[in-house]
Structure 1
Amino acid sequence: MMYRIFVINPGSTSTKVAVYEDEECVYAEKVEHSVQDLEKFPDIMDQYLFRKDNILSALKKVGFHEEDFDAIAARGGILPPLESGTYLVDERMVDYLLHKSPVKHVSNLAAVIAFEIAKGRIPVYITDPVSVDEMIPEARLSGIPEIERKSLSHALNIRAVCRKVAKMLEKDFNQLNFVVAHLGGGISVAAIRNGRMIDVNNANDEGPFSPERTGELPVGDVVRMCFSGKYTKDELKKRYVGKGGLVAYLGTNDLREALKRAEKDDYAKLIVEAMAYQIAKEIGGMCAVLCGKVDGIILTGGMAHSEKFTEMIKAYVYKFAPIFIVPGEFELEALALGALRVLRGEETAKRWGGS
C-alpha cells in the first residue's frame, strides 16, 4: 500500500509544504506570505487560518485536495520537554501551542494548521520537536540550583542525519553513538548514545558562536552589560541572539561572504577560524560525554556545504572518529518519514501527556 503524506513547516514569512508518496517527494513548495498580510495579525498564532487558506490554495493549483492524504506531518512547536519520536497531535496539544507555549514561535503554527486541515478525518503527527529532552541527569546541572540547563536544539535534523548515516553504515541507529554538529544560523552540537540525545548545547545561549548568535559568554561581563544602563532587556537579547557571532564581528551572517573576505583580510580570517575552533571544541566535549566511544562525527546544516569550513573543523577532530558530512537540512523529509514509520506500523505514535 502506498501512503500519501502532506508535510507542513512554517517559517517567518513563508510556509514550506511537501507531498510525499511513501519515501518519495512528489511536490514541494515554499508558500510565501507578504509582510503586509502578516502584520494584520497582532499575535503570531492568529495567523493559522490565513496560512491554512494560503497552503490549501497552493495545493489545489497543483491538483491536491485535503481528502487525498493519509496523514499530515507537521513541524513540532515549543512544547514542554519530551522524548524523541513521533507524536499524535490532539486537542490538548493544539490548545497548548495556541495558548500556553512559553515562546510564541512560528513553529507552533504547524500542528495547529494541520489539525485544522485534518478536522479529525486523518491523523496529524509531529516528529522530534525543538524541545526533545533526553539529557542525562548530570548534563542538567548548570552550577547554581536556580538555573537548569535546557535541551532546545535542532533535534529534527540531528536525528534525521543520524538515521541517514546509520543506514549508510548498515547498522541500527539505536545501537550507535554519534556526535552531531548542526551548523546553521544557530549551532547545536549533540551527543547521541544508542539513539538518545543525552546532551546538547542550547543553540540560543550555549556552545560556540554562530553566524547570528554569541553562544557562551563570560558571565561576569554579561552581568556588567545588564546593569550598565546602556541596553534594554530586549536590546541585550538581540545582541546575543540575532546580532551576535559573525554579524557582530563582520556585519554579515553569510559564511560564504565571510570566507571570501578571509582570503584577503586577516581579521575576517581570524573570526572564521575562531568559529571553527569553538565548534571543534564543543565536538570534543561531546566525544568526552560518550567516553570516547564514538561511531561517527556528523557535520550537517547549511554551513556544512562549505568544504573549506568543514575542513577547518575536521583538522581538530579527525582523530576522534570517522567524520561524515551531510550538508543542508532534511526537515520536510524527516517529518514525512516519521509519519510514514507510524503508518506502516514500524513505530507506535506516542501520546503527549499535556501540561
Structure 2
Amino acid sequence: MSAPVLVINSGSSSIKYQLVDGDTQEASISGLIERIGQSESVITHKTADGKQTWNGQLPDHAAGLEAMVTAFDEFGTPLSHAGLIAVAHRVVHGGDRFVQPVVVDDEVETAIDELAALAPLHNPANLAGIRVARKLFPKLPQVAVFDTAFHATMPERAHVYAVPAEWREQHGVRRYGFHGTSHAYVSRKAAELLGRHPKEVNVIVAHLGNGASVTAVERGRSIDTSMGLTPLEGLVMGTRSGDIDPAIVFHMHRRTGASFEDLDDALNKRSGMLALAGMIDMRSIEEAASDGEQAAEDALEIYCYRIRKYIGAYIAALGGADAIAFTAGVGENSPEVRAKSLESLVALGVRLDEAANQAGGPVISTSDSPITAMVVSTNEEGEIALQTAALLRS
C-alpha cells in the first residue's frame, strides 16, 4: 500500500472498519464490531486468509476500537506496522460548514458535536469514534469526511426550502443530502464505464439500500438529491417514510395525542417498507410478491414508482442524462427493482436489456439506448480513503 488509511464508520452500537489504500481505493482488511454496550458483543475480522469471528464484552467505543487493534495484531498486519498515513472517519452531517474533508482538532470536534442537532442518530456516534481514535492514535492525523459534503454544490433552487427566513438563517433549515461519498464514487465510475471524463457527463445515481437516495450529478457536481435536512426525505426506504405531506405530523398529533418524539420515531423507524410489507429485506419482499402476497406486491410497486419519479425529474433537471447508475445493496442485487424503476422511461431515452439486467450488468441497457443504464458497486470506504489521501497531500 502506498497510502494506507484506516477508515472507521462508528455507529451507535457498532464500528465498521477497513484498511484501505488511498491511491487504489482497495481494502486489504476489514471488520465489523457489533452490539457495543450490550451483554455480548460480536467481532468479525476479515483478511486475505479468511474470516475470524468471536464474542466479547465491549462496554463502549473505546473497548470496541481496542478490540479492533487486537484483531489487527492477531490476524494479518498489526496497525503499528501498516504505515498508516491517517485514520479517516465517516461523519454523516457537516451542515453548511464542512463542504470538504477536514483534519480533526478540538474546534472541529466541537462543531461536529453542535451539528448533532441536525443528525441526532448519527453525529454523536461518529464523534464517539473520533474521540477514542484521537487518544488511541495520537500521532496520526484524524480526518473527517462528511456524507453531506458532495451535495454542497447544489444551487439555491435545489437546496432552499420555502420556509420562514428565520428558520433558514438561524436554524440551518435547508436541504443537505446524504450518501455523498457513494454518489461521488459511483458517478465517477459511471463516467469511466462510458469511457469519458466525469466533467463531460451527466449521471443519475440511485443508491438503494435500507437507506436510499437519488442524486443528479451534472459534470461531476451534485445539483440535486432526494434527501433533505435529514435522511428522511425522498424515496421510500426500509423503515423511513420518504416524502410525505408535512401536515401529516400535526394531523396525527391532533388525532392521537402522540408526542413529536413518537411521531419522529414512527416516520424514521416504523414506516417505509416495514409499514407497507411488514418486512424490510428486499429479497423477502420480492419472494412474497412472487407468491402473490398483495401487501408485498403493492409495497414493491410503490417503492419503484418513487424511484422512477425521481429519475424522471432528474433527467429534466439535468436537461438530459448520459447514464443512470444503480448501486448499494438493493441497487446492485435486485434485477426486479432495477427493471420496475426504469419502466415507462423509454420515452425519456432508457431502453432496458432484460438479459443484461438479469446478469447484473455492468451495462443493463441496449446498445442503442440514448441513456446508458448500469450497475456500479459502491465503495464508500475507498472514497473516504481517496479523499483523505488527497487532503493530506494538498
TM class by shorter-chain length? 0.7 to 0.9
**Counterpart pick for 2:277 among 250, 253, 257:** 250
Secondary structure in structure 1 of the residue aligned to 2:269: coil
Q: Give the alignment's Cα RMSD to 1 decimal.
A: 2.6
**Does residue 302 of structure 1 match 2:329?**
yes
Query: Could you tell me which amino acid in structure 1 is paired with residue 130 of structure 2?
Result: A
1:61 matched to which residue of 2? 74
Query: Matches of 1:161 and 1:170 in 2, distance apart?
Result: 14
Query: Could you tell me which amino acid in structure 2 is paired with residue 71 of structure 1?
Result: A
- CA change 1:115–1:193 in 2 (3 A) is farther
Query: Matches of 1:107 and 1:167 in 2, distance apart?
Result: 32
- The structure, 1 or 2, with the larger RCO (C-alpha pairs under 8 Å, 6+ apart) is 1
**Counterpart pick for 1:140 among 142, 159, 163:** 159
- What's the offset of the Cα at 1:33? 4.1
1:160 matched to which residue of 2? 185
Judge conservation of contact 1:77–1:97 (CA < 8 Å) in 2. no
Provide structure 2 residue ranges, at least 5 long, that are not aligned to the other structure.
42-58, 351-370
1:353 matched to which residue of 2? none
1:14 matched to which residue of 2? 14
Query: Could you tell me which amino acid in structure 1 is paired with residue 27 of structure 2?
Result: C
- CA change 1:206–1:31 in 2 (3 A) is closer
Judge conservation of contact 1:77–1:111 (CA < 8 Å) in 2. no
Judge conservation of contact 1:298–1:323 (CA < 8 Å) in 2. yes
**Does residue 130 of structure 1 match 2:132?**
no
| Alignment: residue pair count | 336
TM-score by length of 1: 0.85
Secondary structure in structure 1 of the residue aligned to 2:93: coil
Query: Matches of 1:130 and 1:37 in 2, distance apart?
Result: 34
2:28 matched to which residue of 1? 26
Secondary structure in structure 1 of the residue aligned to 2:256: coil
Query: Matches of 2:79 and 2:98 in 1, distance apart?
Result: 33
**Does residue 207 of structure 1 match 2:229?**
no
TM-score by length of 2: 0.77
- What's the offset of the Cα at 1:262? 0.6
Q: Identity rate of aligned residues, in percent?
A: 23
2:314 matched to which residue of 1? 286
Query: Matches of 1:135 and 1:151 in 2, distance apart?
Result: 9
* Of 186-195 and 334-343, the range deviating more from structure 2: 334-343
Query: Matches of 2:202 and 2:285 in 1, distance apart?
Result: 33
Judge conservation of contact 2:204–2:215 (CA < 8 Å) in 1. yes
Secondary structure in structure 2 of the residue aligned to 1:109: helix
- CA change 1:317–1:86 in 2 (3 A) is farther
- CA change 1:261–1:140 in 2 (3 A) is same
**Counterpart pick for 1:93 among 108, 132, 152:** 108
Secondary structure in structure 1 of the residue aligned to 2:68: helix
Equivalent positions of 1:1-355 (< 5 A) are 2-21=2-21, 22-23=23-24, 24-36=26-38, 47-62=60-75, 63-66=77-80, 68-82=83-97, 84-98=99-113, 101-102=116-117, 103-104=119-120, 105=122, 106-119=125-138, 121-130=139-148, 132-145=151-164, 146=167, 148-202=173-227, 204-263=231-290, 264-292=292-320, 294-304=321-331, 305-318=333-346, 319-320=349-350, 321-327=371-377, 329-342=378-391, 345=393, 348=394
Query: Matches of 2:182 and 2:40 in 1, distance apart?
Result: 27
- CA change 1:208–1:316 in 2 (3 A) is farther
Query: Matches of 1:269 and 1:164 in 2, distance apart?
Result: 33
Query: Matches of 2:129 and 2:345 in 1, distance apart?
Result: 37
Judge conservation of contact 2:249–2:263 (CA < 8 Å) in 1. no
- CA change 1:233–1:38 in 2 (3 A) is farther
* Of 232-241 and 200-209, the range deviating more from structure 2: 200-209
Secondary structure in structure 1 of the residue aligned to 2:102: strand
Secondary structure in structure 1 of the residue aligned to 2:234: coil
- What's the offset of the Cα at 1:95? 2.7
Query: Could you tell me which amino acid in structure 2 is paired with residue 298 of structure 1?
Result: A
- CA change 1:188–1:87 in 2 (3 A) is same
Query: Matches of 1:283 and 1:30 in 2, distance apart?
Result: 33
